[in-house]
Amino acid sequence: MIKLHVNDEISRLRAVVLGTARSNGPTPKLQDAYDPKSAEHIKAGTYPVEDDMVNEMEAVAQVFKKYGVTVYRPDVIRDYNQIFARDIAFVIDDKFIYGNILEDRSKEIDALDYVIDQIEDSKIIEFPEDAHIEGGDVMPWGDYIFVGAYYGDDYPSFITARTNMNAVKHLQKLFPHKKVKSFNLKKSNTVAEDNALHLDCCFQPLGKGKAIIHKEGFLIEAEYKWLIDFFGKDNCFHITKNEMYNMNSNIFSISPDVVISEKTFTRLNAWLRKQGFTVEEVPYSEISKQEGLLRCTTMPLVRD
């Protein structure tokens, strides 16, 4: 059995699900794109090819191996995108929570049956149908759960709005002992630079009391300021619109002082090293063309 335990974003990682790019299928049709960045690359003829993405994900698997982390990969579904393991489920404390995600992606969770079979039934939670949630929007942080959402009445019109207020309320019901803090994120179906697809696309807490943040990803300035006050202004690394677009906030912590980051994030990686982090650099720029990066492709199951 897998004894689930995830209480934050940074404690030493012991077991993780890493998505797979194998049998990823052909380039999607433009009308089938789930986000504006994928659409942009479909139009430009630069949508990532399978071999490149497989190699990128293999580089991450090697880093996990180096640190002795147990890695689970989804069973391969033919011609199906299974890269973003974070969306389909997430762990808080000792609970495995199914994401309530886009209907077109519902098969992805089936590929993890062999993992879910190793989890005690009483620890598995499904959300009500009207409570939409994806793991990229959910960050356990000790006594807090940070949640990205979209508050607007026009929520149904955004394919990029993945977590609603029903889910935020349901999360608070499930974890009454924690403070569930939600953030209203900026959404755009058409302009990738103006779209914070998930909370981890514009914010990421790190070890050593640090955080990465993109101010313009937040629709309500007071919520952005709350995070700045919580972490302390000097501890926050502000990323530009272009860095947000390239997914600079979507790195991944193996421990409080070890992170995996994309090798082209030169400004961020230099700052991280200056703060005393060990930075394991990997190539992940092809994956990022689908508006997701390192945190999106990983789903921690066990942290210390």
Given a cut of 90, is residue 114 above it in pLDDT?
A: yes
Cα 203–206–207 angle (5° rounding)?
165
Q: Model confidence at 258, in pLDDT bands (50, 70, 90)?
A: very high
Burial state string for 186-219 with b = 16 or more CB within 10 A and e = fewer than 16: bbeeeebebbbbbbbbbbbbbbeebbbbbbebbb
Could you tell me the CA-to-CA distances from 287 to 63, 114, 304 in Å, in that order?
17, 25, 28
Q: Which helix (H) or strand (E) segment is 16 a member of?
A: strand 13-18
Per-residue confidence (pLDDT) for residue 106, from 0 to 100: 77
Task: State pLDDT tens for residues 285-299.
Answer: 999 998 889 999 999
Per-residue confidence (pLDDT) for residue 101, from 0 to 100: 72
Per-residue confidence (pLDDT) for residue 229, from 0 to 100: 98
Strand segments, DSSP code E, in 110-173 are 124-125, 138-141, 144-149
Q: Model confidence at 192, in pLDDT bands (50, 70, 90)?
A: confident
Mean pLDDT of the chain: 95
Given a cut of 90, is residue 33 above it in pLDDT?
A: no
Phi-psi group of 209: left, alpha or beta (phi > 0 → left; psi -120 to 50 → alpha; rest → beta): left
Name, in order, each residue with C-beta under 8 angstroms of 251's C-beta and a sequence gap of 6 or more.
Answer: 204, 212, 259, 260, 261, 262, 265, 268, 293, 294, 295
Per-residue confidence (pLDDT) for residue 175, from 0 to 100: 98
Per-residue confidence (pLDDT) for residue 168, from 0 to 100: 97
Given a cut of 80, is residue 263 above it in pLDDT?
A: yes
Q: Average pLDDT in the 137-154 region?
A: 96
Could you tell me the CA-to-CA distances from 100 to 140, 201, 233, 236, 251 in Å, in that order?
18, 19, 34, 31, 23
Q: Model confidence at 157, in pLDDT bands (50, 70, 90)?
A: confident
Task: State pLDDT tens for residues 52-107.
Answer: 999 999 999 999 999 999 999 999 999 999 999 999 999 999 999 999 876 777 78
Per-residue confidence (pLDDT) for residue 126, from 0 to 100: 95
Residue pair 98/110 in contact by the 8 Å Cβ criterion: no
Per-residue confidence (pLDDT) for residue 94, from 0 to 100: 98
Q: Average pLDDT in the 137-151 region?
A: 97
Q: Biggest alpha carbon distance in the chain?
A: 49
Per-residue confidence (pLDDT) for residue 213, from 0 to 100: 98
Residue pair 186/219 in contact by the 8 Å Cβ criterion: yes
Lowest mean pLDDT across 187-196, 236-245, 257-266: 187-196
Per-residue confidence (pLDDT) for residue 231, from 0 to 100: 98
Per-residue confidence (pLDDT) for residue 17, from 0 to 100: 98
Per-residue confidence (pLDDT) for residue 32, from 0 to 100: 82
Per-residue confidence (pLDDT) for residue 21, from 0 to 100: 96
Bridge partners of residue 262, in order along the sequence: 282
Per-residue confidence (pLDDT) for residue 159, from 0 to 100: 83
Full strand arrangement of the beta sheet holding 124-125? 89-92, 95-98, 124-125
Q: Average pLDDT in the 23-37 region?
A: 86
pTM: 0.95
Task: Using DSSP, state whether 14 is helix, strand or coil.
Answer: strand
| Phi, psi torsion values for 157, nearest 5 degrees | -80, -5
Domain definitions of the chain by residue range: 13-303
Give the domain 13-303 fold. Answer: L-arginine/glycine Amidinotransferase; Chain A (3.75.10)
